[in-house]
Amino acid sequence: MEGFFQGLPVWLNFVLFLIGMVLITKSGDYFTDAAVHIAVLTRIPKILIGATLVSICTTCPEFAVSFLATVEGKGTVAIGNNIGSCIINIGLICGTSSLIRAASTNKSLIVRQGAFMLMAGILVYLFSLGGI
């Protein structure tokens, strides 16, 4: 399938992109409605359904990419996928929440958590130096 869309006209790629966006958006709506319906039927709090079912289902594509990359011997793709996913999730959550409402915090908390994240990044780098 590599290069399948390269031979298509630009306008058709644009149309396919728009169709994909509509399908993803509508599927997200159906998924959310189904999660709420499951919560109502099972009498499980919606927050618990959101924290488990939704988080598991949104992680499945990342898991599939990492699994297939590892099976094909491309472990660097799997590691990059995991690290990139964490970075983008942290960035989007912090950015979106700060757009909605400013977070009040103290400097020591930021320094402590920032140092922890920096050390985690350094550890990943050090562990990856051997290429294993």
> Could you tell me the residue ranges of all domains in the chain?
9-104
Measure the CA–CA gap between 86 and 80, rounded to whole angstroms.
10
Least confident segment among 21-25, 44-48, 56-60, 105-109: 56-60
Measure the CA–CA gap between 131 and 129, rounded to whole angstroms.
5
Q: How confident is the model at residue 3 (pLDDT cuts 50, 70, 90)?
A: low
Q: How confident is the model at residue 4 (pLDDT cuts 50, 70, 90)?
A: low
CA distances for 107 relative to 94, 111, 113, angstroms:
16, 6, 10
Q: How confident is the model at residue 5 (pLDDT cuts 50, 70, 90)?
A: low
Q: How confident is the model at residue 15 (pLDDT cuts 50, 70, 90)?
A: very high
> Which amino acid is located at 35 in the chain?
A
Token pair of 105, please? 């915090």
